[in-house]
Amino acid sequence: MGKVKKYRAKVEVRLKSGYLDPEGESAKKALIDLKYPVGRVSTAKVYEIEFAASGLRKAWMVVEEMCKKLLANPVKDDYSFEVEEIR
């Protein structure tokens, strides 16, 4: 068991492709009005989570669990995250 350290996770949750993203669509239309020739625009939610864990591997596992248990519904959401130690 390692010493308990502080970590910060940055979790990004986005809709799987094929699901309607009205905010992304609105942003796309507005960007086109502003003369940017953009293609697909999608939005995502970002959670920054500070927590303690006994090591990076453990911290990573905890975040994975947070995503599965609450932050994403696997039917319609994809998620990705990074974890860093807070020094």
Identify which of residues 57 and 68 has a Cβ nearer to another protein in the complex: 68
Residue 25 to residues 6, 28, 87, Cα–Cα distance (Å): 38, 5, 39
Minimal distance, residue 2 CB to another protein, in Å? 27
Identify which of residues 22 and 39 has a Cβ nearer to another protein in the complex: 22
Interface with another protein by CB under 8 A: which residues? 16, 18-22, 25, 68-71, 73-77
Minimal distance, residue 48 CB to another protein, in Å? 14
Short-list 80, 84, 59, CA closest to 16: 80
Is residue 14 a contact partner of residue 42, using CB atoms and an 8 Å limit? yes
Tell the residue number behind the tokens 């932050």, with chain if given: 71
Minimal distance, residue 32 CB to another protein, in Å? 17
